[in-house]
Structure 1
Amino acid sequence: MPFTLAYGTKVVLPPKTVVVSQRTKSFEEAANKERRCQDLDMLDEKHEAAQLRQALYKSQIENYYNRQVRVKNFKDREWVLRKNESGHTEPLGKLSVTWEGPYKIVEAHKNGAYVLEARDGRAIPRTWNAQSLHHFTLKMRVKGRINASKCIVN
């Protein structure tokens, strides 16, 4: 051992070193059992308190989310674009068109669903949610946000 090589004797450690702390000195078996029983009795109340905290947290998150959401409202006879992902009419890729249309809104329901009509007067088979629609303006065509030649008409 390095110590033996340096000093020429062996090191002998005591067989057991006991470090006494204040916590081990003040431990009482009977008091500990009594506290464990009290904790078990209070378990239902702790569960209820945790459920109340969780419900409060969820309502706060819901309120925060609802404040961030912007409601889109469209009117009848308004022109809109539809997300290409919604219809899956064209394979999606990095350079694919993200919006297709324009479509005219024929009917607006209360829950944010809209019935669409193509430019040639054909009705689109199902209703569309406002999240999948976007206002269509001529400025979009000029600024290049959509390519008029790539607009898909069903």
Structure 2
Amino acid sequence: MPTLRTTEIDMVQNDEALEINLDILEEKREQAAIHEARSKEKMEKYYNSKVRNTSFKPGDLVYRNNDASHTKDSVKLSPK
């Protein structure tokens, strides 16, 4: 026995609606890709404005961590 829902559905109209939804989905994906690229460009511009270029010449004194000369702490409380 068919239900009201199955008797009232129009398969042609349903297929057309699904195709329209697929087209809209593609447009939304394109818009999202454009928005993502714009956001990444904005972040890159902000980062590049804040970062300072450092260049070293032979003979310059620089700070280095020397973890090899330090004694090992107990493993129980050390970070992983």
- Relative to the length of structure 2, the TM-score reads 0.54
The Cα RMSD (Å) is 2.7
| Partner of residue 49, structure 2 | 67
Which moved further from structure 2: 69-78 or 48-57? 69-78
| Partner of residue 76, structure 1 | 58
1:80 is displaced (CA, Å) by 2.2
Unaligned runs of 5+ in 2: 1-8, 74-80
1:9-32 deviation digits (Å, cap 9, x = unpaired) = xxxxxxxxxxxxxxxxxxxx98xx
Q: Which has the higher contact order (CA 8 A, sep 6+)?
A: 1
With over 3 angstroms needed to count, the CA separation of the structure-2 counterparts of 1:52 and 1:92, relative to structure 1, is farther
Tell me which protein shows more strand as a share of its residues: 1
| Partner of residue 28, structure 2 | 46
* Deviant stretches of 4+, over 6 Å: none
Tell me which protein shows more helix as a share of its residues: 2
1:105-148 deviation digits (Å, cap 9, x = unpaired) = xxxxxxxxxxxxxxxxxxxxxxxxxxxxxxxxxxxxxxxxxxxx
Q: Distance in 1 between matches of 2:58 and 2:32?
A: 48
Q: Distance in 2 between matches of 1:81 and 1:61?
A: 29
- Relative to the length of structure 1, the TM-score reads 0.31
Query: Once the two structures are aligned, what percentage of the paired residues are identical?
Result: 35
Describe how 1:10-49 pairs up with structure 2 within 5 A. 37-49=19-31
Larger radius of gyration between Structure 1 and Structure 2: 1
Aligned residue for 1:79, secondary structure, equals coil
Q: Distance in 2 between matches of 1:92 and 1:80?
A: 25
| Partner of residue 5, structure 2 | none
Unaligned runs of 5+ in 1: 1-28, 94-154
